[in-house]
Amino acid sequence: MKNYFKTNLLPHLIAALLFLAISVVYFSPQISGKRLDMHDWKVWQASSKEKTDFKKETGEITNWTNSMFSGMPTYLISTPKEHNIFTYIQKTLSLNHSEPASFLFYYLLGFYILLCVLHINPWLSVAGAIGFGFSSYFFVIIAAGHLTKAAAIGYMAPIIAGVYLAYDRKIWQGMLLMAFALALQILTNHLQIVYYTMLIVLGLAIAYFVDAIMNKKLAKFAKTSGVLLFGGILALGVNATNLLTVQEYTAYSMRGQSELENAQHVRTSGLNKDYATNWSYGIDETFTLLVPNIKGGASYAPLAKKSETYKVLNKY
C-alpha cells in the first residue's frame, strides 16, 4: 500500500499542491483584498445591479431587468445555479471563487492531467503545465475581465485528456473524466469555448476513426464513441436548465441567427462577420500563444520606460 501511494498518488498530490502554491503566490495581492481593474467585470456588475439590489431588498430572484436594452431576461446576466450539483464542485475547484488565482490553478492542473494521460513523466508534466499555464494570452483575458472564458479554457485540456484516454486504453475512465470536465465547462456558460473544444474533439475522433479503418477496429471505435457520446449527454443534462433558457432566448436575440447567408442576398438576421470577429485573433497573432507580446501586449498595458515609443511620446 505504501509503495502504491508513493509511486502512483504522491507525485500527483505534490503536483497539485505545487500548482496551488504557485497560483496563490503569483496572485498574492488578492489575499490582501486587492482586485484587478477588469473592464468586463465592471460592466457585468453594472448590468446585474438591478437584479442584485432586488434580491437584497426582497429576498426574491427576478428573471427580468429593465436596465439592459430597454428590458431583457437575466438568463445570461446573473442567474443562480444552486440546482446544479456541479456549482458546488466548481466552487471547491475555484478555491471558493478565489479569482483570478483559481484560473491559473485550472490551467496548471488541467494541462498536467492531459500530459499524464499522454504518458508523460509526472515531473516533466509539471514543467509542461507551468509553461502552458503562463501563456501570455491567459493573463490578457483575465485582465480584460473575460472571466467565464478564462474558466472555460481551463477545462479544455482535461476534456481532451478524457477523450484520448477513452480511445487509447480506458473507455469508462476516459468518459468519466471527459463528462466531468465538460459539465464544468458548460457550467461557465461560455459556449464559444465549448464549441472550440468540440472542434478539437472532433478532429481527434476523426484521427481515431481513420486509424480504426486501417487496423480493422471499427467495432471498438464505435463502442468508445458511443460511450463518449453518452458522457456528453450527461454533461448536457446536468446543465439542461441553463441551456434550455438560452435556447428559448435565442429566437429574440440579434446574435441568435446564423451568419452563414448567401452574400448576394441582403442580410436580415445574425451578426455581420466583421462585427462578430472584430476582437478575434488574426492568423499571425496566434503566435502570441508561444511568444509573449510578439504582436504587442494588452490594450491597456503600460509602456516600458526604456522603449523608443515611450521616449517619443514622453516629449509631448
The answer to whether residue 207 is domain-embedded is: yes
Residue 72, H or E segment: strand 72-73
Statement to judge: residues 178 and 75 lie in one domain: no
The answer to whether residue 76 is domain-embedded is: yes
The answer to whether residue 275 is domain-embedded is: no
Statement to judge: residues 41 and 184 lie in one domain: no
The answer to whether residue 152 is domain-embedded is: yes
Q: How far apart are CA 23 and CA 125, in angstroms?
A: 17
274 to 48, 149, 190, 270, 299: CA distances (angstroms): 28, 21, 21, 12, 19
Chain-centroid distance, C-alpha 199: 14
Nearest to 299 by CA among 143, 193, 146: 143
Q: How far apart are CA 197 and CA 23, in angstroms?
A: 24
Nearest to 271 by CA among 285, 286, 289, 253: 253
Task: State the residue range of the domain holding 183.
Answer: 89-257
Residue partners of 162: CB distance under 8 A and separation at least 6:
117, 174, 175, 176, 177, 178, 179, 180, 181, 182, 231
* Residues 101/23, Cβ–Cβ less than 8 Å: yes
The answer to whether residue 22 is domain-embedded is: no
The total number of structural domains that make up the chain: 2
Res. 260: pLDDT tops 70: no
Domain boundary among the residues 45, 80, 115 is at 80
pLDDT in tens, 49-59: 888 888 888 88
Statement to judge: residues 74 and 161 lie in one domain: no
pLDDT, mean over the chain: 84
Residue partners of 6: CB distance under 8 A and separation at least 6:
none
pLDDT in tens, 104-150: 999 999 999 999 999 999 999 999 999 999 988 888 888 888 888 99
Statement to judge: residues 198 and 103 lie in one domain: yes
Domain boundary among the residues 257, 283, 299 is at 257
Mean pLDDT of 85-97: 80
Nearest to 187 by CA among 109, 108, 242, 229: 242
The answer to whether residue 248 is domain-embedded is: yes
Statement to judge: residues 95 and 224 lie in one domain: yes
DSSP state of 8: I
pLDDT in tens, 62-74: 878 887 777 878 7
* Residues 114/160, Cβ–Cβ less than 8 Å: yes
DSSP state of 288: G
Chain-centroid distance, C-alpha 108: 13
Statement to judge: residues 130 and 238 lie in one domain: yes
The answer to whether residue 160 is domain-embedded is: yes
Statement to judge: residues 111 and 213 lie in one domain: yes
Cα dihedral angle (107, 150, 154, 172), rounded to 10 degrees?
170
Cis amide leading into 100 (omega within 30): yes
pLDDT in tens, 196-222: 999 999 999 999 999 999 999 999 999
Rounded to two decimals, the pTM is: 0.80
The C-alpha R_g of the chain, in whole angstroms, comes to 22
Nearest to 109 by CA among 183, 20, 9: 20
Higher pLDDT, 32 or 260: 32
Statement to judge: residues 207 and 152 lie in one domain: yes
E strands along 11-63, which residues? none
